[in-house]
Amino acid sequence: MTASHPAFHCNKLRTTVLDMAYAGSTVHIGCAFSIIELLAVLYRSHLRYPNNDPKDIGRDYLVLSKGHGVMAQYACMRELGWLKDDAFSGYFANGSELKGLSDSRIPGLEATTGSLGHGFSVAVGMAMGAKLRGTDQKTFTIVGDGEINEGPIWEGALFAAHHELKNFMVIVDENGFQAMGSTQDVLRLGSIQAKFESFGFEAITIDGHDESLIDDTIKALWTSPSTKPKALIAKTVKGKGVPFMEHNNMWHYTRLNAETYAQALSAVSGDAP
């Protein structure tokens, strides 16, 4: 990070997500809101982009494996100046470059994701490449808790542990929901931390909306003497920041109308009653 980097205020990031979702009449608001604090901390304090260049060869890598949460990442990229305002007001309009899933053709998005489970393995490959090149680049990937139902997650985890990819960190957005319902009802996960530990990861579970704790935990994992890959399990709230969206899986696929848009903006600005 350089001193010129923005502060990444989470209420501002949520406002950008709402503006995009309303302008494009699109979905996936709840699953974008659950990762806002995680992304804010990563971009503010941990991701390295020399000269603020998302294509710099020495950059760190962030793969959003839960690619449907990409509006939250777009909001951060706007703060960095990588995306211009007209890309947001014209979101999902004819000719819009920004899609509803992560697309590697956009500088700053490292992988095309949305087919769940695959972004994790792409990120493992990036970490392996950095290790083979002998660089100090770090690789992060963010996955959803429902996403870890997918087999490729665990194949990649075995590979990362076997090759002692201590430059790799998975962040699990454990918001308790996936598209078709709660993770408990669809496929019970048990202790995600215990699962990653059993696959050879150093793992910690925290509150995924406590920015200071997120920052301290990431620092602790990177400075650990262990050669194991890292797993940060973030307990989050789907729809965080808007009371009528919180823990409400309807907002995985529901679109905003003029009334709910205004109510949501009021909530994230702190003006809600």
CATH number at residue 238: 3.40.50.970
Q: Is 16 inside a domain boundary?
A: yes
- Which pLDDT value is given to residue 270? 76
Q: What are 72-119's pLDDT values in tens digits?
A: 999 999 999 999 999 999 998 888 999 999 999 999 999 999 999 999
Name the residue range of residue 40's domain: 10-269
Q: What are 31-52's pLDDT values in tens digits?
A: 999 999 999 999 999 999 999 9
Q: Is 83 inside a domain boundary?
A: yes
Q: Is 4 inside a domain boundary?
A: no
Q: How many domains does the chain have?
A: 1
Q: Is 211 inside a domain boundary?
A: yes
> What's the rounded Cα separation, in Å, for the pair 48 and 188?
36
- Which pLDDT value is given to residue 271? 62
Q: Is 42 inside a domain boundary?
A: yes
Looking at the predicted structure, is the pLDDT value of residue 2 above 70?
no
Sheet of strand 202-207: strand arrangement:
61-64, 139-144, 168-174, 230-235, 202-207
The angle subtended at Cα 138 by Cα 133 and Cα 141, nearest 5°, is 120
Looking at the predicted structure, is the pLDDT value of residue 171 above 60?
yes
> What's the rounded Cα separation, in Å, for the pair 262 and 265?
5
Q: Which two tokens stand for residue 214?
A: 């997120």
Residue for token pair 């982009």: 49
With CA atoms as reference, report the closest residue to 155 among 135, 125, 194.
125
What does the pLDDT average to over 191-200? 98
Q: Which residue type is seen at 177?
A: F
What does the pLDDT average to over 219-236? 98
- Which pLDDT value is given to residue 272? 53
Q: Is 134 inside a domain boundary?
A: yes
Largest CA distance in the chain: 55
Residue 15: phi and psi, rounded to 5, are -60, -40
- The alpha carbon of residue 33 and the mean position of all alpha carbons in its chain are separated, in whole angstroms, by 10
Q: Is 156 inside a domain boundary?
A: yes
Q: Which two tokens stand for residue 167?
A: 């430059």
Cβ of 3: how many Cβ atoms within 10 Å?
A: 4
DSSP structural state of residue 106 = S
Q: Is 112 inside a domain boundary?
A: yes
> What's the rounded Cα separation, in Å, for the pair 233 and 61?
19
